[in-house]
Amino acid sequence: MSSPRTTWPHVAVALRAMLVLTVVLGVGYPLLVTGLGRAMPTRADGSLVTDADGRVVGSSLIGQSFTDADGEPLPQYVQPRPSAAGDGYDAAASGGSNLGPENPDLVAAVEERRAAVAELEGVDPADVPADAVTASGSGLDPHISAAYAELQVPRVAAARGMTEDAVRDLVRDATTGPDLGYLGQAGVDVLTLNLALDAARP
Question: How open is the CA angle 155-160-163, to the nearest 5 degrees?
Answer: 75
How many other CB atoms sit within 10 Å of the CB of residue 198?
A: 15
Q: Which of 124, 127, 123, 145 is nearest to 136 (CA)?
A: 145
Q: 156 and 75 in contact (C-beta within 8 Å)?
A: yes
Report domain extents, the chain.
4-41, 48-200
Q: 77 and 155 in contact (C-beta within 8 Å)?
A: no
CA distance 185 to 197: 23
pTM of the entire structure?
0.76
Q: Which amino acid appears at position 4 of this protein?
A: P
pLDDT tens across the length of the chain (202 residues)? 556 667 788 888 888 989 998 998 888 888 888 777 666 655 566 678 888 788 888 888 899 999 999 999 999 999 999 998 888 888 888 887 888 888 999 999 999 999 999 999 999 999 999 999 999 888 899 999 999 999 999 999 999 999 999 999 999 999 988 877 777 788 999 999 999 999 998 7
Burial class for 182, CB neighbours closer than 10 Å (0-12, 13-18, 19+): exposed
